[in-house]
Chains A and B, each alone.
Chain A
């Protein structure tokens, strides 16, 4: 999956490079909080581990084999920020020393394979751990789901970048289909081996698994006078507010929806195009919401077409965020209620 030089145009390469540099900057500061002055030696050794594990080929299906990307595995084992740093260093070393992956494509590679896989994998992992019962058995399951989702997510981001600035004239829907199909398979393999690896580390050294912190059972001191429970130390990283992340994400989403769709071409997207070419939409009936104010991504009553599309994009993001937030809120309340009932 290492993207070479010349695969993306200069604009996308530079934008992805800026994004990767900013992401690494954040991770450098946060990783120091995760590991303090042990950062360099520990992250260096874990990076060497990831480099080695990426060489471990595993059989996928009928004669083909894949190798691990390792983003989610590293995130579960050593924490998300350190994981991004480790995978990024692996990619830098591969680019500069092994000529694997183009130097101008380093930004794209780091964004896809370090930031997206670790962030998505860690997010899904945390979500599952939070919803599942507090048990050690939940950790490998959550790691499996995180890894399974993270690989197609990286493929999806690749497809989006390719749509914006790819140099090859392939229909975007066939790219999405090919990348998606292959990477769902790779993701399953990645998920299996991630879960099995995490569970084997968990069996031997549960204290090393970052994602299983807080699952330590309280220490029981059995004395003649009765049992005393010593609560385990709370995880050192204080629970931080996720508000900055939410606000930043919202700003980026609104900017993308408004500005990018403002400039996006009005040519039909891949699926619509295929549908049109093959005559699929001959029998297509009007969408049930065809008459709604946002139909076909344009706002009625706004004269300028581009402006209208931009406004529709922003409104679409708003509705998506509201709907997603509502779902998340209900899920969280469900998850909290049994906890309260138990307390």
Chain B
């Protein structure tokens, strides 16, 4: 794999945002998302402020806009749904360019589009500035259940291996002239899935035995632990606190 040794979601860098300990960044992003969702939808200016805040974080982390935009593709299905809302919504209708649209539907579409986009951009920035491994160390520092963190660790570590196995099987299928056209091809796909399960499960058993032979006793040793100083907590709190102030203002105004 010539793509280098870092994950494609992660953009290596050495900025303030990159250097923040993960256990500060995770709650900051989660709190930001909660504040955005709790903002009343008619406070247009508040969403503008949120967007500016995220733009500020992106600029500080030197993440180019093109990178963020390319990764925002995951949002497309819900954008389609949101665009359909004004047409199928209930309630009073208005004429816009000769099309009858529902007022409530327009509000709901705006609400979902604005909040979902802000949430997606915040997660993209988090993933772009935090190494996957560090993110899980942060989750562990936040005292998430250890088993859950370990499962996520193993999943991330072996995800590329399993995806590669699946890719090899796909190449093998297609080089024999296979194309999934309709339901009759399902048995072939299902056999691939079954083979993939057996390979994953057996690899899991091998990994477990290899770990046992290296002294695994149910918990992972911590090699590089990252402590967080009060200063880094304060820096990480800038985003959610600024968002909370904006939201508080919008609540008092509405």
**Which chain B residues numbered 110 to 165 have a C-beta less than 8 Å away from chain A?**
111-112, 114-116, 118-124, 126-127, 132, 135, 145, 147-148, 150-159, 161-163, 165
Task: Please name 20 further chain A to chain B contacts, defined as beta carbons within 8 Å, in addition to the given A169-B85, A200-B193, sorted by A numbering.
Answer: A4-B78, A5-B36, A5-B118, A7-B112, A37-B216, A44-B153, A44-B154, A45-B203, A46-B201, A47-B152, A48-B154, A56-B166, A68-B193, A97-B156, A103-B122, A168-B112, A169-B107, A192-B183, A196-B191, A204-B198
CA distance A13 to B115 in the complex (A): 14
Residue interface mask A195-213, B partner, CB < 8 A = 1: 1111111001100100000
With beta carbons under 8 angstroms apart, the residue of A32, A90, A103, A208 that contacts B119 is A103
Cβ < 8 Å to B, chain A residues 110-154:
none
A235 interface residue, CB < 8 Å from B? Answer: no
On whether the beta carbons of B154 and A45 are closer than 8 Å, the reply is yes
Asked if A45 meets B158 with Cβ closer than 8 Å, knowing A37-B218, A85-B148, the reply is yes
Q: Taking the complex as formed, is B52 at the interface, i.e. its CB lies under 8 A from any CB of chain A?
A: no
Residues of B within 8 A of A102 (CB): 33, 37, 115-116, 119-120
Q: Does B242 make an interface contact (CB < 8 A)? A: no
| 10 contacting pairs across A/B (C-beta < 8 A) | A43-B147, A43-B151, A48-B159, A59-B183, A65-B180, A96-B135, A104-B119, A167-B112, A189-B183, A193-B186
Interface string of A67-90 (1 = CB under 8 A from B): 010000100011000000110111
Q: Is B97 an interface residue (CB 8 A)?
A: no
With both beta carbons as reference points, the residue of chain B lying nearest to A198 in the complex is identified as B194
Q: Is the CB of B204 within 8 A of A44?
A: yes
Those 8 A-B pairs whose CB atoms lie nearest each other, nearest first? A44-B154, A6-B115, A196-B190, A5-B119, A200-B194, A45-B204, A4-B116, A169-B104
Measured between beta carbons, the chain A residues less than 8 angstroms from B222 are none
Contact of B200 among A37, A48, A89, A192 (CB under 8 A): A48
Query: Which residues in window 12-71 of A have CB below 8 A to B?
Result: 13, 24-25, 28, 31-32, 37-49, 51-53, 55-61, 65, 68
Which residues of chain B are within 8 angstroms of A170 by Cβ–Cβ distance? Answer: 85, 88-90, 105
Please tell me the number of chain A residues within 8 Å of chain B, measured between CB atoms. Answer: 75
**Chain A residues whose C-beta falls within 8 Å of the C-beta of B74 in the assembled complex:** 98-100
Q: In the bound complex, what is the Cα–Cα distance between A24 and B180 (angstroms)?
A: 36
Most chain A CB atoms below 10 A, which of B122, B152, B158, B185: B152
Q: A38 contacts B159, CB within 8 Å?
A: no
Q: Which residue of B lies closest to A203 (CB)?
A: B194
Within 8 Å of chain A (Cβ to Cβ): is B108?
A: yes
Of residues 181 to 201 in A, which have CB atoms within 8 Å of B's CB atoms? Answer: 189, 192-193, 195-201
Write out the residue numbers on chain A whose beta carbons fall within 8 Å of the beta carbon of B91.
169
- Which residues 168-202 in B have Cβ within 8 Å of A in the complex? 180-183, 185-187, 189-198, 200-201
Q: Are the C-beta atoms of B155 and A93 separated by less than 8 Å?
A: yes
Say if the beta carbon of A92 comes within 8 Å of chain B: yes
- Answer whether A193 and B190 are a contact pair too, CB < 8 Å, given A45-B207, A168-B89: yes
For the complex, give the distance between the alpha carbons of A230 and B153 in Å: 41
Taking CB as reference atom, which chain A residue is nearest B212? A37
Q: A10 at the A/B interface (Cβ < 8 Å)?
A: yes
Evaluate whether A24 and B148 lie within 8 angstroms (CB atoms) in the complex, with A98-B9, A200-B195, A208-B198 already known: yes
Nearest CB on A from B144, distance (A): 9
Most buried by B among A90, A97, A198: A97
Are A99 and B162 also in contact (CB < 8 A) when A44-B154, A200-B194 are? no
- CB pair A58–B119 under 8 Å, yes or no, is no
Q: Is the CB of A6 within 8 A of B162?
A: no
Q: How large is the interface on B (under 10, 10 to 19, 20 to 34, 35 or more residues)?
A: 35 or more
B75 sits at the interface (CB 8 A): yes
Report the separation of the CA atoms of residues A92 and B26 in the bound assembly, to the nearest whole angstrom.
12
Q: Which residue of A lies closest to B135 (CB)?
A: A96
**What's the Cα separation between A49 and B26 when bound, in Å?**
26
From A9, A41, A53, A193, name the one whose CB has the most chain B CB atoms within 10 angstroms. Answer: A41
Q: Does B59 make an interface contact (CB < 8 A)?
A: no
- B162 near A51: Cβ-Cβ < 8 Å: yes
A219 and B219 CA atoms in complex are apart in Å by 37
A4-B112, A95-B123, A169-B90 in contact; A28/B148 too (CB < 8 A)?
Answer: yes
A192 to B191, CA, bound (A): 12
Is there a chain B Cβ closer than 8 Å to A174's Cβ? Answer: yes
Contacts of A272 in B (CB 8 A): none
Query: Does any Cβ of B come within 8 Å of A171's Cβ?
Result: yes
Chain A residues within 8 Å of B151, by CB: 39-40, 43-44, 47, 85-86, 89
The distance in angstroms between the C-alpha atoms of A204 and B192, with both chains bound, is 13
> Which residues of chain A come closer than 8 Å to B34, judged between CB atoms?
10, 104
Contact with A along B5-37 (1 / 0, CB 8 A): 000010000000000000000100110011011
Complex CA distance for A35 and B198, rounded to whole angstroms:
17
Nearest B-chain residue to A10, judged by Cβ:
B38
Report B251 CB to chain A, min CB distance, Å: 12
Across the interface, which residues of B come within 8 angstroms of A167, CB to CB?
41, 108, 111-112
